[in-house]
Amino acid sequence: MTLSPILRPWLLAAPLLGLVFTACQPGGKSTATGPDLIQANLDTTVHPGDDFYAYSNGTWFKQHPIPASESNWGIGKEVQNEIYARLRSLSEEAAKAQATPGSTQQKIGDFWAAGMDSTAIDKQGVAPLKAELDRIAAIQSVADVQAAIARLQPLGVNALLGLYVGQDAKNSEKMALQLWQSGLGLPNRDYYFNKDARTSNIRKEYQQHLTRMFGLLGQDAATAQQNTQRVLQLETKLAASSRKLEALRDPYANYNKMTIAQLDQLTPGLGWQPWLAQMELTKADTVIVGQPEFYREAGRLLKTAPLADWKAYLQWQLVHAYAPTLSRNFDQENFRFYGTVLQGAKEQRPRWKRVLDAEESALGEALGQLFVKEYFPPATKERYEKLTANIMTSFREHIQQLDWMSDSTKQKAQSKLTKITRKVGYPDKWKDYSSLKIDRSSYAQNVMRANQWRYRFELSKLGKPVDRTEWGMTPQTYNAYYNPSNNEIVLPAAIFAIPGLKDADADDAIIYGYAGASTIGHELTHGFDDEGSQYDEKGNLRNWWTKKDRQLFQQRVNGIVRQFNGYTVLDSMHINGKATAGENIADLGGIVIALDAFKKTEQYKKGEKIGGLTPTQRYFLGYALGWQVHQRDERLAQSILTDVHSPAQYRINGPFADVPEFYEAFNVRQTNKLWRPDSARVKIW
């Protein structure tokens, strides 16, 4: 199933040295033993007022080059490496155990064993997909095409349809069937039309990739090339009707609720009721269509494009989805294009890490139960709940002190903030995988069954009350998110980890910057960014602002859009200020909110230096630690086109240039590159 587009995770690309969960204790230690991690990362040849990203982490970057198997490297990858090691140990132990059939340990062990048996996988070749490929080859009508698409949906192949069940944005108590634009082999629409040399080369490489994949399916050269052109033509037409990245962030424009009869009128002749029944969606009577123009074009193409085009497209979509689970030739060609061409990785990551990624997708919360039991005790959970409460108190004070918002809107903003649910560490209730069959016969088929289980798990929510206890991430995920429909922040256990830094050595300045600003404050601010602010305290898409307050807010949003539009990346590419506005607002909000919370700590009040750095300096460096990530040019170029997050460098330099305390802490002057005049500095929350 496709994750709901409004469940917008804050995606850290980043990480350091051996995983230790740090805990923030109010009034915690302000002295450190041993080498100071923050000071050790500094590149003092760079003035902090010219490039704080390079100043704060430059030495670390020099000492930690990007591994050949990666397209980026940083703090998140270091955290993930330690998590990988622990999950590998758990999986290997499960594989060796004489586990009870059907038990969680048996499923984990068998999934791991099947995934690691590359000899058996190579022998099977494309055989695990044969039944589905045969059905595609037998297509003789448009109805057959629809039936094939319906069969592929539960398998995790989003051919044409981006279908999922999620909360109704205007009635958060209801789960609704939703359709989102989907079905492209390249990252998004811009890759099909941008004329710059970099993107044009990617299109040429994509064409070669398609031809090679069709060849691996056993097609001769002429047929493979012909099918490549069929796929390119079809996908280019779908891309032309797809919305741009920034347009997908408008919740009203992407909310188009209609009956199934109205959906039939949008796509005449397709017959959605029987089609949905084939996808096990007999309960659906309405659907929320994100981009009606995309489905209008999809419907037209279903009726007018030659059946041979659809056969080629569906063959491609299936093999593309499962290439990492198939024999070495499929897996390596998939990596060549998506890993090397698109992201710049020089070699493939070890098989055991890739299997753990698949295992995480299939059995994430089963692994999570074992993970938190050993590595995230209740006392640590309690400490971060306290930190979250401190950041919320600071945010409440910020709202009250705003000089641009009226009292009536302030009251509603305070109500929304108070009602934000805070999920910290791990869920109280875990997913039940008892109905999921896992064995050692086929890695690809284990992934198929896991995808089918997840599909039915998600579809079963239709018509039921919303389960607000559910988590959209596992505890071992180095990430976090705000969900506007639930009005909640979700902070998995792993996001609080600082590799190489023990709890006793983590002073409050680091913790308030690293966890308080870049995670907790950031996610809270998402409830009040340009998109999240359009949802009320109950999670409904509803205007709770006065007209004047909304205009004043938008003026400030426009300021941050202009600021980030002005940043040039890779010679000629510009950050998309409108597409990244929400994340940029959340970064700035998190920094100023957590900073005021930090000012209440004993460390800040005492003002003692650690490693030659003042508490305020360490706070800003703690935040920068969270964006200790560097990436290859290929990955950076892709993120500019596809990611609603700014590159790491600008998630530090951008918001810091708007914060007065940053100028004071590092003596930033008009002659420095980051300096912005008072009139240009953005202040929102």
Whether 285 and 124 have beta carbons less than 8 Å apart is answered as no
Rounded distance, CA 431 to CA 475, Å?
13
- Residue type at 234? L
Q: Mean pLDDT, to the nearest integer, of 196-212?
A: 97
Q: Mean pLDDT, to the nearest integer, of 103-125?
A: 97
**464 Rama sector, left if φ>0, alpha if ψ -120 to 50, beta otherwise:** beta
Q: Mean pLDDT, to the nearest integer, of 105-116?
A: 97
**pTM of the entire predicted model:** 0.92
186, 189, 191, 195 alpha-carbon torsion, rounded to 10°: 160
pLDDT recorded at residue 505: 77
Q: What is the mean pLDDT of the chain?
A: 93
Residue carrying the six token digits 């990739």: 209
Rounded distance, CA 7 to CA 595, Å?
27
Residue 562 has pLDDT above 90, yes or no: yes
Residue 516 has pLDDT above 80, yes or no: yes
- What confidence tier does 120 reach under pLDDT thresholds 50, 70, 90? very high
Residue 411 has pLDDT above 90, yes or no: yes
pLDDT recorded at residue 9: 29
**Lowest mean pLDDT across 5-14, 276-285, 367-376:** 5-14
pLDDT recorded at residue 373: 83
DSSP β-bridge partners for residue 422: 489
214 φ, ψ (degrees, to nearest 5): -65, -35
- What confidence tier does 34 reach under pLDDT thresholds 50, 70, 90? low
pLDDT recorded at residue 507: 93
Residue 19 has pLDDT above 80, yes or no: no
Residue 514 has pLDDT above 50, yes or no: yes
Q: Mean pLDDT, to the nearest integer, of 518-527?
A: 98
Residue carrying the six token digits 């710059």: 196
558, 559, 561, 565 alpha-carbon torsion, rounded to 10°: 130
Q: Mean pLDDT, to the nearest integer, of 225-252?
A: 98
Whether 552 and 64 have beta carbons less than 8 Å apart is answered as no
Among residues 320, 251, 319, 262, the alpha carbon closest in space to that of 295 is found at 262
**The two three-digit tokens of residue 63, written as one number:** 């000492």
Q: Mean pLDDT, to the nearest integer, of 73-97?
A: 94
The predicted-structure confidence for 348-400, as pLDDT tens digits, reads as follows 999 999 999 999 999 999 999 988 887 788 888 888 999 999 999 999 999 99
Write down all domains in the chain, each with its CATH number in brackets: 8-78+377-423+471-680 (3.40.390.10), 140-210+226-308 (1.10.1380.10)
DSSP string, 504-546: GG--HHHHIIIIIIIIIIHHHHHTTSTTGGGB-TTS-B---S-
- What confidence tier does 504 reach under pLDDT thresholds 50, 70, 90? low
By CB atoms closer than 10 A (0-12, 13-18, 19+), residue 239 is buried
- What confidence tier does 223 reach under pLDDT thresholds 50, 70, 90? very high
388 φ, ψ (degrees, to nearest 5): -60, -40
Whether 653 and 55 have beta carbons less than 8 Å apart is answered as no
Whether 684 and 585 have beta carbons less than 8 Å apart is answered as yes
SS (H, E, C) 344-367: CCCCCCCHHHHHHHHHHHHHHHHH
Residue 106 has pLDDT above 60, yes or no: yes
Residue 7 has pLDDT above 60, yes or no: no
Residue 549 has pLDDT above 70, yes or no: yes
The predicted-structure confidence for 654-675, as pLDDT tens digits, reads as follows 999 999 999 999 999 999 999 9
Q: Mean pLDDT, to the nearest integer, of 504-518?
A: 92
pLDDT recorded at residue 31: 40
**Lowest mean pLDDT across 11-20, 422-431, 522-531:** 11-20
The predicted-structure confidence for 605-627, as pLDDT tens digits, reads as follows 999 999 999 999 999 999 999 99
pLDDT recorded at residue 160: 97
pLDDT recorded at residue 571: 83
Residue carrying the six token digits 């709901």: 4
- Other C-beta atoms closer than 10 Å to the C-beta of 201 total 11
Residue 276 has pLDDT above 70, yes or no: yes
Rounded distance, CA 607 to CA 30, Å?
10
Q: Which residues contact 482 (CB under 8 A, 6 or more apart)?
A: 8, 10, 488, 489, 490, 523, 524, 526, 527, 532
CA distances from 25 to 248, 279, 492, 510 (A): 40, 50, 18, 12
Q: Mean pLDDT, to the nearest integer, of 180-194?
A: 97
Rounded distance, CA 385 to CA 586, Å?
20
- What confidence tier does 12 reach under pLDDT thresholds 50, 70, 90? very low
pLDDT recorded at residue 351: 98
% residues pLDDT > 90 (the chain): 90
Residue 27 has pLDDT above 90, yes or no: no
Q: Mean pLDDT, to the nearest integer, of 150-168?
A: 97
Residue 24 has pLDDT above 80, yes or no: no
Residue 575 has pLDDT above 80, yes or no: yes
Residue 178 has pLDDT above 90, yes or no: yes
- What confidence tier does 299 reach under pLDDT thresholds 50, 70, 90? very high
The alpha helices in 323-431, defined as continuous H runs, are: 328-335, 351-375, 378-401, 407-418
**242 Rama sector, left if φ>0, alpha if ψ -120 to 50, beta otherwise:** beta
Q: How open is the CA angle 609-613-614, to the nearest 5 degrees?
A: 60
Residue 124 has pLDDT above 50, yes or no: yes
Residue 17 has pLDDT above 80, yes or no: no
Residue 540 has pLDDT above 70, yes or no: yes
pLDDT recorded at residue 381: 87
Residue carrying the six token digits 């108070």: 418
